[in-house]
Structure 1
Amino acid sequence: MRSVMAFVYFLLSLVGVAGGADGGGTTLVARSAENGVETLLSATHVAAGRVRFQCLRSASGHCHYVLFADRRAAATFDVAVGQVRERSDLPADFSLCVSHLDARVGPDCKPAAEAVPRSQ
């Protein structure tokens, strides 16, 4: 398992998502699969007040993000496979959910009872 994780980190570093230009910050990698088939691979890099969302693979062609601040939805957006979106206006304690599906979720990333307004 350790060698698999090292290989994944190596691949992510090749496409520029594992670490920033200065090597600082944190990279969050989200991966999901259904019936053994990978449905999502997303990398989010947080460093120096900037957040970089990169959609590497998605069964739907887009990674759908929901951002939360104080356990309330702050923003929703999608990023096409192979594309990147950057933001610098997020609070330090934001959280996120990402999926290959465009579904409304709560801060626990489970389906929400109420719709979350979408922003572009």
Structure 2
Amino acid sequence: MRIIVPAISVLLSLAGCHEKPSVTSEVRSSRNGVTTLHSKATLKDGIARFQCLRSHSGSCHYLVFVGGCQDVATGESPAADCDVKPVDSFSLALGDEKQLPGLSRDFRHCVDAMAMPAAPQCLN
């Protein structure tokens, strides 16, 4: 019995009972100690899930794009003439979420509580 339980545990771990990796980005803004915007975006298996968790206006406005605008390694700001390719723009009511399939790990997004963001300016 002492050998059977560990053997079963090893077999189950080899069977691939692992959660797939994901990438999560959260944006939070506050004014005078009060949260004005809280948004969460999670990419898992090529599907991005955007959630509007808090917004003082009642909506979160998203711009999703791809493009080599910013040097991720150095964190340098993008140039004004940066080449971005919009994928989607949408607004979500507070508490709503949206899924976008087919996005790669290098997608970028901006979110604002008041108006639709403009890229690449929203990366500054």
TM-score higher than 0.5: yes
Q: Is the 8 A contact 1:50 1:86 kept in 2?
A: yes
Matched, 1:82 2:95: yes
- Structure 2, gaps ≥5 residues long: 1-18, 68-83
Which residue identity lines up with residue 67 of structure 1 in the other structure? Answer: V
Q: Deviations over 1:39-82 (max 9, x none)?
A: 10111111110100011100111111001112233221011111
Matched, 1:62 2:59: yes
Quote the offset at 1:105 in angstroms. Answer: 1.7
Quote the RMSD (CA, aligned, Å).
Answer: 2.2
Q: Which has the higher contact order (CA 8 A, sep 6+)?
A: 2
| Equivalences, count | 91
Which residue identity lines up with residue 79 of structure 1 in the other structure? Answer: L
The residue that corresponds to 2:12 in the other structure is: none
Whose Rg is larger? 2
Greater than 6 Å deviation, 4+ residue runs? none
- Structure 1, gaps ≥5 residues long: 1-21, 112-120
TM-score by length of 1: 0.66
The residue that corresponds to 1:98 in the other structure is: 111
